[in-house]
């Protein structure tokens, strides 16, 4: 064994152990998050507001709309200033007829067919993000399953198996089969460091045989057992159809060297364990539902340029982005600012040095997403991939299949690339939108040869070029969070911040909502205390 793999049993078992570390890193990069389950405890409600108290909310993303909704319920006079012509912020969906202009002036017209859409920002909601699910239920937002793990989707490495993609189920079955065989032999030979009783050894061996489909000699071979896990070369039929035929295994050494096993951990990460959801019709169904609840409170097309405050209140200067209204001001007793730090750091803001330093300490992550419309749903018709995600080591990273309207005729839209970190994300953002789409087609063709023939049109979003965020999400280092997070969360005079960047769930909508609830709870207590003291 050692000669054929170049690895001792001990080295191989250590390597297996290291996959937990790889998974943790993958969680940090893929989930764009540093924490798991939401801390939401259930029903949220503020007590009565001080008589006549007013609050100005900056930004109508989910954090801003959560704040506005709950503050108005409590009796505050609320006004919201929003840069865009509609609510939602990064809770954003592109559909046919939409026009999007990025920083630099490049404009794209979305030409998707009616009913088809693409989410450039968030695209899934874990089951344990309780606050956003609670609001979805309260506001009547319909949800449907988001397929995180599809065992018939593809895993692709340009450096393995001659660049040919493999089915997720093949990689998973063969990886666990080969590993179980090696481990079972180590157990049987008593080669583990820690002593194992004879009874425990037999139980462990039996569990490995059942788990991985080993034969009676603890070998992972081409068999009915392995094919029941990885799929058959020929599936069972009826009548005089061919009999079922077992499938060939991936070579153990080639599989270990390929690195494809890394992707097997994704569906086991806390953020991505089933059930996962998406709103029916697009992620912005949530934004639209929130917007209805705060109808009449939002001034759209309002670009904030300055935030001033003194002992008596807050004054916010803004510009009408339609060009028709010039510079204006809004005043209130208090302000909840949910603007991304990438924007806020460029403005004149009257806050103390600790908060100002915190605002400037958090860079924003690069990310790019590409939506591709095809003439037919070939991934279903040709390859029987219904929803889920395929992964590749090409810069596009992953291909997401629609988790709805299975089997429908006509065109379909894929997430043609999710370039989420590092130099690849910066490079994709620096490209023209047309080049991003072109690269997504080139790289996606390595998994799906039908791409070029079936392509219809596409649209691409590079988040550092999105005018209202200048980046995807707040990237906290451990050092920055230790030095600045507490200061960022404080009430500075009459101003408090909220958003995903002021949370331990960065990049998640849940983090934005929980941040808003925490911020307005503390601001409310502060306002009530001042009234009582007066």
H or E stretch at 280: none
Contact criterion met (CB below 8 Å) for 155 and 388: no
In a domain, 46, yes or no: no
In a domain, 163, yes or no: no
Indicate the pTM of the whole model.
0.86
338 and 487 within one domain: yes
209 and 220 within one domain: yes
Tens digit of each residue's pLDDT (9 = 90 or more) over 18-51: 443 333 333 343 333 333 566 777 789 999 999 9
213 and 199 within one domain: yes
In a domain, 49, yes or no: no
Q: What is the pLDDT of residue 192?
A: 56
271 and 130 within one domain: yes
Average pLDDT over residues 119-138: 95
DSSP 320-387: ETTSSS-EEEEEESEEEE---HHHHTTSEE---HHHHHHHTT--B---EEEEEEESS-HHHHTT---S
Last residue of a domain, one of 203, 226, 258: 258
pLDDT band at 15 (very low <50, low <70, confident <90, very high): very low
Contact criterion met (CB below 8 Å) for 81 and 302: yes
Last residue of a domain, one of 440, 472, 504: 472
98 and 69 within one domain: no
Q: What is the pLDDT of residue 267?
A: 79
Share of the chain above pLDDT 70, in %: 90
In a domain, 357, yes or no: yes
Query: In terms of pLDDT, which residue wins out, 196 or 429?
Result: 429
121-130, 141-150, 190-199: least confidently modelled range: 190-199
Q: What is the pLDDT of residue 14?
A: 44
Query: In terms of pLDDT, which residue wins out, 123 or 274?
Result: 123
Q: How far is CA 42 from the centre of its chain?
A: 23
407 and 272 within one domain: yes
406 and 338 within one domain: no
How far is residue 111's CA from residue 114's CA, in Å, rounded to a whole number?
A: 9
Number of residues assigned to the chain: 534
Question: What are the two backbone dihedrals, phi and then psi, of residue 154, each rounded to the nearest 5 degrees?
Answer: -115, 145
pLDDT at 531 over 70: yes
In a domain, 287, yes or no: no
319 and 455 within one domain: no
Relative orientation angle of helices 198-212 and 168-188, to the nearest 10 degrees: 160
Contacts with 165 (C-beta within 8 Å, 6 or more apart), sequence order: 154, 155, 156, 390, 392, 446, 447
pLDDT at 482 over 70: yes
Relative orientation angle of helices 62-74 and 284-293, to the nearest 10 degrees: 20
How is residue 145 written in tokens? 């399953």
390 and 243 within one domain: no
Question: What are the two backbone dihedrals, phi and then psi, of residue 416, each rounded to the nearest 5 degrees?
Answer: -80, -5
- For the beta carbon of residue 18, count every other beta carbon within 10 angstroms: 10
Question: What are the two backbone dihedrals, phi and then psi, of residue 55, each rounded to the nearest 5 degrees?
Answer: -135, 135
Across all residues in the chain, what is the average pLDDT? Answer: 89
Greatest Cα-to-Cα distance within the chain, rounded to the nearest angstrom: 90
Q: What is the pLDDT of residue 4?
A: 38
Q: What is the CATH number of the domain that holds 203?
A: 1.20.1440.240
Question: What are the two backbone dihedrals, phi and then psi, of residue 419, each rounded to the nearest 5 degrees?
Answer: -95, 105
In a domain, 325, yes or no: yes
Q: What is the pLDDT of residue 179?
A: 83
pLDDT at 122 over 80: yes
Contact criterion met (CB below 8 Å) for 306 and 329: no
In a domain, 525, yes or no: yes
In a domain, 1, yes or no: no
H or E stretch at 502: none
Distances (CA, A) of 200 to 2, 19, 524: 26, 25, 58
245 and 123 within one domain: no
Q: What is the CATH number of the domain that holds 383?
A: 3.90.660.10
Last residue of a domain, one of 472, 493, 514: 472
Q: What is the CATH number of the domain that holds 355?
A: 3.50.50.60
How far is residue 423's CA from residue 504's CA, in Å, rounded to a whole number?
A: 25
98 and 196 within one domain: no
Q: What is the pLDDT of residue 21?
A: 36
How is residue 496 written in tokens? 């408090």
490 and 448 within one domain: no
Question: In this structure, are strands 302-310 and 398-401 parallel, antiparallel, or unpaired?
Answer: unpaired
Tens digit of each residue's pLDDT (9 = 90 or more) over 323-358: 877 899 999 999 999 999 999 999 999 999 999 999
Distances (CA, A) of 267 to 2, 147, 264, 276, 516: 31, 10, 7, 10, 29
Number of domains the chain is built from: 3
List the domain range (segments joined by +) for residue 209: 168-258
pLDDT band at 371 (very low <50, low <70, confident <90, very high): very high
Average pLDDT over residues 223-238: 82
């Amino acid at each position: 064994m050692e000669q054929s793999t170049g690895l001792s049993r001990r080295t191989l078992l250590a390597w297996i152990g290291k996959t937990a570390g790889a998974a943790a890193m993958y969680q940090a990069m893929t989930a764009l998050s540093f924490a798991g389950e939401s801390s939401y405890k259930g029903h949220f409600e503020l007590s009565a507001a001080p008589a006549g108290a007013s609050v100005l909310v900056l930004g109508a993303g989910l954090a801003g709309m959560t704040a506005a909704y709950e503050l108005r319920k409590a009796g505050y006079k609320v006004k919201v200033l929003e840069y865009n012509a509609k609510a939602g912020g990064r809770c954003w969906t592109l559909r046919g007829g939409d026009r999007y202009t990025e920083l630099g002036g490049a404009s794209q017209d979305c030409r998707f067919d009616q009913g088809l859409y693409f989410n450039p920002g968030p695209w899934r909601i874990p089951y344990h993000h309780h606050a956003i699910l609670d609001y979805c239920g309260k506001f009547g937002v319909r949800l449907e399953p988001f397929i995180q793990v599809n065992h018939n989707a593809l895993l692709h490495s340009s450096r393995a198996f001659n660049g040919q993609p493999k089915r997720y189920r093949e990689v998973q079955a063969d990886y666990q089969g080969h590993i179980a065989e090696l481990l079972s032999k180590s157990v049987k030979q008593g080669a583990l460091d820690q002593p194992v009783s004879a009874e425990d050894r037999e139980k462990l061996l039996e569990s490995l045989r059942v788990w991985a489909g080993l034969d009676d000699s603890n070998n992972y071979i081409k068999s009915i057992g392995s094919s029941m896990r990885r799929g058959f070369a020929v599936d069972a039929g009826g009548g005089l159809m061919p009999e079922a035929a077992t499938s060939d295994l991936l070579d153990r050494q080639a599989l270990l060297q390929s690195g494809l096993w890394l992707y097997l951990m994704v569906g086991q990460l806390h953020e991505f364990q089933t059930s996962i959801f998406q709103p029916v019709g697009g992620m912005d169904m949530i934004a639209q539902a929130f917007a209805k609840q705060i109808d009449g409170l939002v001034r759209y097309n309002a670009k904030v340029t300055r935030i001033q405050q003194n002992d008596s209140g807050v004054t916010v200067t803004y510009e009408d982005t339609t060009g028709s209204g010039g510079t204006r001001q809004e005043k209130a007793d208090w302000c909840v600012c949910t603007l991304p730090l990438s924007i806020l750091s460029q403005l004149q803001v009257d806050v103390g040095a600790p908060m100002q330093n915190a605002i400037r300490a958090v860079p924003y992550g690069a990310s790019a997403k590409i939506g591709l419309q095809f003439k037919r749903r070939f991934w279903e018709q040709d390859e029987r991939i219904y929803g889920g995600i395929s992964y590749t080591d090409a810069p596009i990273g992953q291909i997401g299949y629609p988790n709805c309207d299975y089997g429908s005729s006509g065109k379909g839209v894929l997430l043609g690339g999710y370039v989420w970190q590092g130099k690849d994300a910066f490079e994709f953002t620096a490209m023209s939108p047309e080049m991003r789409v072109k690269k997504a087609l080139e790289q996606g063709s390595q998994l799906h040869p039908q791409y070029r023939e079936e392509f219809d049109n596409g649209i691409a979003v590079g988040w550092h070029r999105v005018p209202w965020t200048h980046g995807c999400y707040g990237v906290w280092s451990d050092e920055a969070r230790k030095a600045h997070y507490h200061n960022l969360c404080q009430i500075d005079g009459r101003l408090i911040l909220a958003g995903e960047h002021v949370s331990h769930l960065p990049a998640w909508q849940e983090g934005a909502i929980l941040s808003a609830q925490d911020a307005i709870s503390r601001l409310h207590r502060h306002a009530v205390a001042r009234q009582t003291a007066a």
